[in-house]
């Protein structure tokens, strides 16, 4: 991530504010929102849903996460299941960190970013940035996750039932240029691991967000001009 000049930040955030706000769906259940529990397709998929617990950049469970589950719009869940099946033939598996994200959770992130006094997680998640620099590039008032077709994940190497996450160069939700997918300072092995994940996801149509190596969206499955606020439960 580059540190944008103040004027550039103002212009970008102003442009975002000028865009029409997406409609919040009236759906109140996952079924009404067309969301599928990924484990209904892959019962043993590895999940570690950080926002349902304390181990995340806010330091507490996030509003809207009542259970540690991965929901996605059905076409995205089916595509991710295909990625997982293809990887297993190579001795690899996915480890999923976040999927559909309720709009209320995104609002909680924005409130957290606006609280300069809460820096409990700075060392682990944004050691080289001021908290005020997180809005825009890393934390936005509207997230693609709330459209139901975005997922945060990594790769694991497996030997039998024992799986170990591959070295990607940073942890999840590390807000720093080192998390950029093509960060030039990576080791050869870290770059190869990121590219391996990129190729596996791209094979099913998922597109990477270049500022976060773990962040992928399936545009064809995302809700159009609509976000959801169904709790994860």
SS3 210: coil
Q: What CA–CA distances, in Å, run from 94 to 31, 44, 72? A: 25, 11, 15
Catalytic residue among 47, 84, 137, 212: 212
| DSSP assignment string, 110-139 | HHHHT-TT--TTHHHH-TTS-GGGSBTTTB
Dihedral pair phi/psi, residue 65, rounded to 5°: -100, 95
124 and 173 Cβ atoms separated by less than 8 Å: no
Name the β-bridge partners of 156. Answer: 93, 165
212 is catalytic: yes
CB hemisphere CA count around 142 (13 angstroms): 15
Active site residues: 212
């Amino acid at each position: 991530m580059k540190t944008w000049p103040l004027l550039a930040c103002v212009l970008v955030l102003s442009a975002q504010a000028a865009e029409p706000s997406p409609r919040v769906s009236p759906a109140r259940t996952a079924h009404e929102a067309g969301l599928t529990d990924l484990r209904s397709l892959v019962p043993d998929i590895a999940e570690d849903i950080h926002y349902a617990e304390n181990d995340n950049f806010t330091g507490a469970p996030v509003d809207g996460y009542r259970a540690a589950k991965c929901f996605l719009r059905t076409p995205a869940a089916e595509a991710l299941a295909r990625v997982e099946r293809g990887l297993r033939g190579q001795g690899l598996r996915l480890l999923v960190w976040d999927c559909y994200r309720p709009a209320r959770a995104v609002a909680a992130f924005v409130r957290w970013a606006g609280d300069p006094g809460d820096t409990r997680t700075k060392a682990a998640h944004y050691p080289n940035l001021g908290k005020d620099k997180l809005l825009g590039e890393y934390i936005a008032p509207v997230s693609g996750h709330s459209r139901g077709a975005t997922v945060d994940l990594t790769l694991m190497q497996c030997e039998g039932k024992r799986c170990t996450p591959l070295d990607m160069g940073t942890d999840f939700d590390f807000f720093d240029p080192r998390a950029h997918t093509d960060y030039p300072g990576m080791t050869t092995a870290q770059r190869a691991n990121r590219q391996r994940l990129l190729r596996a996801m791209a094979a099913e149509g998922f597109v990477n967000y270049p500022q976060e190596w773990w962040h992928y969206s399936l545009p064809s499955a995302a809700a159009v001009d609509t976000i959801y606020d169904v709790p994860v439960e």
